[in-house]
């Protein structure tokens, strides 16, 4: 008996311990002497002893066998007062007027394992936060509680901006570090009753119980985003990261878990479109807009794979000579079902879904191809390409552009990259690095939509920019008031003191052009000269602009009948 791995106890009718083997001594912490003659109730907390004695009497009345593994939670109290999870098998002999035999097995290891497995099934291993499944349980619980109490609560869904770039650029270990830090920062802002979970990847979710007003949730969202936007100190370098956050309210927006999650997700996408580090509350029209966007996204993916995209080119014309000096490539998409979709509609969708990277790569490659074709035809033209913010943050952008240039045999100095002021300002240091690498390739840089961002002069001077494009919103009202005209003039003067060339966008009338000439603006772009045209029409426009007799601005394309070219 002393060799048996399980504890063995012999108990008489009165509940007295007759014998305890060695394993039983280890399990209980008592010696054999301490146990023999004692009541078995010694293994129970005092408040359970009486009930157990009755139970035991009943047992001897009609003894039955009880095997191990009946799955009941059984505990014994050890000598030191601690309790130990055990499993107990019971048998019975008629010796000495009836003796019960108990086999007692220590199952603390099994329980520990079960607890570990439960933890792993309900928690995220990296951050230790609860996982999607467990959060689902909490959400159901919150719904049940709030339905009873009439309280509302908020569901927040949070997604890091461009986390992929961290993983790609710095490795997965760095990515993990960032996620850990994100979890830590989120926890530090939240209160004890709030639930925080990692849904997977770079997606987190928060449940804020007992929210009286939407403003309370918005306040929490602001705090969370603020905490996340502080720079991240990684081994030797600093990283800027934002997050986008969507909010859905119970019961105002929806009353079931799945719909709440979906609405928070829609709000989050909406926030992503407004730029980095934004939050948005769910609003009913988002549902409709979301469906449209999903459709656009799907169709756009098809176009990228099977055709339907094209670049059209809008001339940039020298104000003084009327000569065309370059073109801007503008993306055109014709879908068999949706017809022509303007870039203002599909570019934001592509940005929100990440498709913009593939789309941008296609644009760069196609533009490089066109540069090579025109150069081969004896018409070396500078082609400007629009770059979206995400492309600018892409770690292999420079490499990719270099490859496209080489593969297509395009002259780097004929490629110009247009970045908007706000894109360049989002992460100034990173933007500067990328733009300097591009400049080193021989590629030119233009600052697009100038005047709409908030760049500081000192910063602009540090960027390797060769051209500034005055946004068409400034050019349009130029003839209306002198204040509007003065603003354009000021931008021209400013650019020139920085040694930059200036292109005015959206020039539609000869009067606007005259005024721009007075201000000393270098070049213009606009419907006055030509809309964006298919590549086959560019040669005609170029020849017309360079005709020796000089075609007056605004009449060149009309004389050639090109202004009626479908765009």
Q: What tokens appear for 397 in the block?
A: 């952008």
Which span (59-67, 113-121, 178-186, 441-449) binds Ca ion, by CB under 5 A?
A: 441-449
Report if residue 448 touches Ca ion, rule: CB under 5 A.
yes
Of residues 444 through 463, those in contact with ligand C2E by CB under 6 A are 448-449
* Interface residue with ligand C2E, options 286, 363, 398, 538 (CB under 6 A): 363
Position of tokens 């969370």? 224
**Distance from C-alpha of 368 to C-alpha of 305, rounded to nearest angstrom:** 19
Choose the one of Ca ion, ligand C2E, none that binds residue 347, judging by a C-beta under 5 to 8 angstroms depending on kind: ligand C2E
* For Ca ion, the closer CB: 243 or 470: 470
With CB under 6 A as the rule, give the number of residues binding ligand C2E: 22
Distance CA(224)–CA(186), nearest Å, equals 6
Rounded distance between C-alpha atoms, residue 379 and residue 84, angstroms: 87
Pair 459, 438: CB distance under 8 Å? no
Task: Considering only CA atoms, give the Rg of the chain.
Answer: 37
Beta pairing class for 83-93 and 99-106: antiparallel
Q: Cβ distance 35 to 25 under 8 Å?
A: yes
CA 414, CA 382: separation in Å to the nearest integer?
4
Residue 421 contacts Ca ion per CB under 5 A:
no
Only one of the segments 173-181, 232-240, 487-495, 526-534 lies at the binding site for ligand C2E (rule: CB under 6 A); that segment is: 526-534
Which conformational region is residue 498 in: left (phi greater than 0), alpha (psi within -120 to 50 degrees), or beta? alpha
We find the least distance from the C-beta atom of residue 416 to ligand C2E, in angstroms, to be 12
Strands 523-524 and 501-504, by their bridges, are: parallel
Question: Any contact of residue 390 with Ca ion (CB under 5 A)?
Answer: no
Binder of ligand C2E out of 205, 314, 512, 522 (CB under 6 A): 314
- Report helix, strand or coil for 18: strand
Which of 99, 244, 370, 388: binder of ligand C2E (CB under 6 A)?
388
The listed partner (ligand C2E, Ca ion, none) that binds 223, CB under 5 to 8 Å by sort, is none
DSSP 456-470: -HHHHHHS---EEEE
Q: How far apart are CA 553 and CA 423, in angstroms?
A: 33
Which of 131, 244, 386, 563 binds ligand C2E (CB under 6 A)? It is 386
The site string for ligand C2E over 468-497 (x = CB under 6 A, - otherwise) reads: ----x-------------------------
Angle at 22 between CA 21 and CA 25, to 5 degrees: 95
Beta strands 7-12 and 467-470, pairing class: unpaired
Q: Is 418 in the site for Ca ion (CB under 5 A)?
A: yes
Q: Does 344 bind ligand C2E (CB under 6 A)?
A: yes
The encoded tokens of residue 21 equal 């083997």
- Applying CB under 6 A, the span of 42-50, 208-216, 286-294, 341-349 interacting with ligand C2E comes to 341-349
Counting DSSP H helices and E strands in the chain, the numbers are 22, 21
Sequence-distant contacts of 30-37: CB under 8 A, at least 24 apart: 30/79, 34/79
> Of the candidates 15, 175, 242, 526, which one interacts with ligand C2E according to CB under 6 A?
526
508 belongs to the binding site for ligand C2E (CB under 6 A): yes
The binder of ligand C2E chosen from 246, 322, 506, 554 (CB under 6 A): 506
- Measure CA 73 to chain center: 44
Q: Please tell me whether residue 348 binds ligand C2E under the rule CB under 6 A.
A: no
Site string for ligand C2E, 265-304 (x = CB under 6 A): ----------------------------------------
CB 173 to ligand C2E: min, Å: 32
Number of residues in contact with Ca ion under rule CB under 5 A:
4
In the complex, the smallest distance separating the C-beta of residue 527 from Ca ion, rounded to whole angstroms, is 14
**Which range in 147-155, 411-419, 432-440, 551-559 contacts Ca ion by CB under 5 A?**
411-419
Query: DSSP states of 374-421 as a string?
Result: HHHTT---EEEEE--HHHHT-TTHHHHHHHHHHHHT--GGGEEEEEEH
Cβ count near 158 (within 10 Å): 27
> Which 166-195 positions form the footprint of ligand C2E (CB under 6 A)?
none
Residue 331 as a binder of ligand C2E (CB under 6 A): the answer is yes
Q: Which residues bind ligand C2E (CB under 6 A)?
A: 314, 330-331, 342-344, 347, 360, 363, 386, 388, 448-449, 472, 505-508, 525-527, 532
Q: Which residues bind Ca ion (CB under 5 A)?
A: 386, 418, 448-449
């Amino acid at each position: 008996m002393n060799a048996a791995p399980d504890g063995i106890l012999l108990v008489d009718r009165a509940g007295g311990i007759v014998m305890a083997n060695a394993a039983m001594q280890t399990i209980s912490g008592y010696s054999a002497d301490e146990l023999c003659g004692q009541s078995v109730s010694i293994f129970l907390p005092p408040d359970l002893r009486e009930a157990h004695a009755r139970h035991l009497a009943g047992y001897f009345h009609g003894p039955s066998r009880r095997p191990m593994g009946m799955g009941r939670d059984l505990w014994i109290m050890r000598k030191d007062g601690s309790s130990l999870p055990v499993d107990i098998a019971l048998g019975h002999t008629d010796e000495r007027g009836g003796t019960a035999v108990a086999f007692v097995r220590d199952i603390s290891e099994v329980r520990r394992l079960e607890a570990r497995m439960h933890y792993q099934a309900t928690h995220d291993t990296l951050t230790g936060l609860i996982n999607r499944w467990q959060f689902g349980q909490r959400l159901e619980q919150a719904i049940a509680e709030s339905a009873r109490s009439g309280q509302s609560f908020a569901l927040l869904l949070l997604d890091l901006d461009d986390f992929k770039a961290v993983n790609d650029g710095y490795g997965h270990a760095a990515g993990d570090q960032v996620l850990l830090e994100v979890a830590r920062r989120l926890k530090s802002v939240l209160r004890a009753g709030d639930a925080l979970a990692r849904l997977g990847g770079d997606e987190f979710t928060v449940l804020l119980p007992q929210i009286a007003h939407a403003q309370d949730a918005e306040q929490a969202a602001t705090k969370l985003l603020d905490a996340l936007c502080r720079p991240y100190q990684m081994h030797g370098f600093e990283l800027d990261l934002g997050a986008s956050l969507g909010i859905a309210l119970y019961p105002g927006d929806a009353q079931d878990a799945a719909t709440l999650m979906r609405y928070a997700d829609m709000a989050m996408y909406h926030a992503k479109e407004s730029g980095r580090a934004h939050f948005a509350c769910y609003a009913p029209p988002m549902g409709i807009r979301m469906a449209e966007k999903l459709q656009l996204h799907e169709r756009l993916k098809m176009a990228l794979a099977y055709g339907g995209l094209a670049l059209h080119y809008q001339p940039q014309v020298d104000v003084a000579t009327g000569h065309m000096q370059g073109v801007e490539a503008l993306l055109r998409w014709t879908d068999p079902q949706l017809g022509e979709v303007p870039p203002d509609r599909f570019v934001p969708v592509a940005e929100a879904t990440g498709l913009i990277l593939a789309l941008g790569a296609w644009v760069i490659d196609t533009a490089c191809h066109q540069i090579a074709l025109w150069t081969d035809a004896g018409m070396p033209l500078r082609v400007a390409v629009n770059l979206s913010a995400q492309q600018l943050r892409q770690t292999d952008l420079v490499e990719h552009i270099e490859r496209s240039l080489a593969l297509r045999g395009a002259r780097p100095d004929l490629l110009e990259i247009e970045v908007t002021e706000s894109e360049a300002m989002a992460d100034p240091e990173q933007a500067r690095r990328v733009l300097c690498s591009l400049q080193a390739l021989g590629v030119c840089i233009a600052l697009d939509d100038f005047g709409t961002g908030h760049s500081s002069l000192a910063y602009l001077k540090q960027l390797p920019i060769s051209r500034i494009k005055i946004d068409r919103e400034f050019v349009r009202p130029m003839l209306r008031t002198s204040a509007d005209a003065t603003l354009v003039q000021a931008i021209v003067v400013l650019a020139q003191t920085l040694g930059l060339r200036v292109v005015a966008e959206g020039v539609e009338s000869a009067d606007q052009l005259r005024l721009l000439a007075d201000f000393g603006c270098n070049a213009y772009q606009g419907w006055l000269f030509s809309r964006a045209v298919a590549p086959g029409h560019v040669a005609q426009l170029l020849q017309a602009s360079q005709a020796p007799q000089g075609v007056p601005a605004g009449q060149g394309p009309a004389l050639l009948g090109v202004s009626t070219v479908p765009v």
